[in-house]
Amino acid sequence: MPFTLHGLAVSQGIAIGHVHLVSHALLEVNHYQLAPRHLEAEMARLDDAVAEVRGELQELRSASEHNPAYNEVGAFVDVHLMFLDDPMLTDAARTLIDARRCNAEWALVQQMELLVEQFDQIEDAYLRERKADVIQVVERLVKVLLGQPGHLPRKRKDSPGTIVVAHDLSPADTLGFRDHDIAGFVTDVGGPTSHTAIVARSQGIPAVVALHNVRQLVHDNELMIIDGTRGVVIIDPDERILEEYRLRKTELELERSKLHRLTSARATTLDGEEVSLLANIELPRDGVQARKVHADGVGLFRTEFLFLNRHALPDEDEQFEAYRAALKHMGGAPVTIRTLDVGADKALEAVGKRSTEANPALGLRAIRYSLTEPKMFRTQLRALLRASHYGPLKILLPMLAHAHEMDQSLAMIAQAKEQLRERKQKFDPKVEVGGMIEVPAAALSLGMFVRRLQFLSIGTNDLIQYTLAIDRTDEAVAHLYDPLHPAVLKLIGGTIQVGARYGLPVSVCGEMAGDPAFTRLFLGMGLRRFSMQPTQLLGVKQEVLRADVGDLAPKVQRILKMDEQERVHEAVERLGV
């Protein structure tokens, strides 16, 4: 009998296939004590498991280098290799085995729970979800210790594909699926920035996460439908439901193939307004994907991956090479690089700080953090400036709210320039500096930005969070997270209007920019620069090509005067009709 589950839609599309349950080894760990004479052998068993997992990860890393489709996954495998060698995990587990005379599996799980507890204190959603890396590394080690296979069955002749159902999936898992016909992913846990979500979106595989107990409700080989647009999972569908979803799947695939025809088309509205469609990237080589969809440049290059999960900060040369590589991959198109945007957490313990804040989201993070670490900040600024000699690079400062933050940052950029002149190293002296509009205080005090900076970028994810006082990763309040709340739209619309009035370029680089449902709304507000994941670009371009700004502008101005959420939602929906 069919039944339906509802979760979080993180990768659009329709998938139909048979379930393959991935074992959750951490639930199967027992605790037992060892005789002193067996402790050395248990240590060796742990060492052998670490060596085996390291070999598997290195093999997967090598495979990712030879397959461009897995570029994003390769970076995550690197993170897992770093965690595997982190003394806080494996060395601490060895200490537990010796001190408590326990088995290796239990020791690993105990230390994992301690580390996860530390990650849970981090307010930043992206960094907090990196606790999944620790869990996934331990899961992989435990599977080796328990002798469990981690392979998928080969594709059945009578099946449209395999739907992987798991508690969670690691990037190594997803890369290991490359020889199988994976139709979709379904997991108990996860969020928009989880590995499953990122990999699924990058490969165009439908996925629904945060279903809580799906593994307990389904069985191997059951037929399943994933609706990755609505966040719906249907188990054991009848023939009528199957036929309906087969038809919808065919229609979606036809639409997707049509989108690829737009790759080389200029993003111009029906009434001749040109629009820049830019890409958000995490790593320098992500520029390859951006160029494939003919992105006009990079609107946001996040630099956090250079700093996270390591015992020493990246030096100037390492950063310079990464920034120069991003410019090279973009072949002369402009690249906007955001300075470090993290909080005082374990991932940056190399600078000697630990977070003791009750609420890090309202504490020392982003530009505030960088300004308290001038040596680290100047190193990054020098690397950015040096890279600017090799292409059109722009520097983006995150989470600005005060004039003195901008003044201090600009003074440090000037110092970095002077240091490079003394070294006789080349850079672009006219490199543009911009600011992120992520807090209501910034959106309501734009005059100080206009007087000091050359461009603005609206980070809608944080702007919504701070405006509505909602953490969308908190399930208790996630339903209140509304991008179309009238207050949010007024802040975005006001920022775009001020930028236009003073000739200051404004872009939107949050998730809203990549959602075609909001494209016409933004165009009517006056936005002409969108920055999004490369996989989202063609969908947004299609909306741009179908839009008439002259017709949209007065309608959107009426929407911005509304103060009832339901009316706003209805009006935005009508813009696409």
Please list the active-site residues. 195, 509
Report the side by side order of strands in the sheet with 162-166: 3-6, 232-235, 223-227, 14-21, 162-166, 182-187, 207-209, 8-11
The Cα 3–Cα 1 span in angstroms is 7
Residue carrying structure tokens 């966040």: 231
For the record, the structure tokens of 20 come out as 């393959």
For the record, the structure tokens of 123 come out as 């307010």
Can you say whether residue 332 is alpha, beta or left, with left for phi > 0 and alpha for psi between -120 and 50 degrees? left
**Residue 64, SS3 per DSSP:** helix
Helices first, then strands: H and E counts in the chain: 23, 16
Residue carrying structure tokens 């990755």: 228
The Cα 203–Cα 181 span in angstroms is 12
Candidates 446, 439, 544, 426; CA nearest to 499 is 446
DSSP state of 358: S
C-alpha distance from residue 354 to each of 79, 92, 349, 527 (Å): 21, 19, 7, 40
What amino acid is encoded at 553 in this protein?
A
Residue carrying structure tokens 């994907």: 289
Candidates 115, 133, 137, 112; CA nearest to 198 is 133
Cα angle 471, 474, 475 (rounded to 5 degrees) comes to 135
Please count the residues of the chain.
Answer: 577
* DSSP string over 282-323: SSGGGHHHHHHTT-SSEEEEE-GGGTSS-SS---HHHHHHHH
**Greatest CA separation for the chain:** 82
Q: Answer whether 75's CB lies under 8 Å from 283's CB.
A: yes
The Cα 218–Cα 215 span in angstroms is 6
The Cα 451–Cα 394 span in angstroms is 17
Q: Answer whether 155's CB lies under 8 Å from 132's CB.
A: no
* DSSP string over 9-31: EEE-SEEEEEEEEPP-GGGG---
**Residue 232, SS3 per DSSP:** strand
Q: Answer whether 393's CB lies under 8 Å from 431's CB.
A: yes
Buried b (16+ CB within 10 A) or exposed e, 72-89: bbbbbbbbbbebbebeeb
Residue carrying structure tokens 């030879």: 66
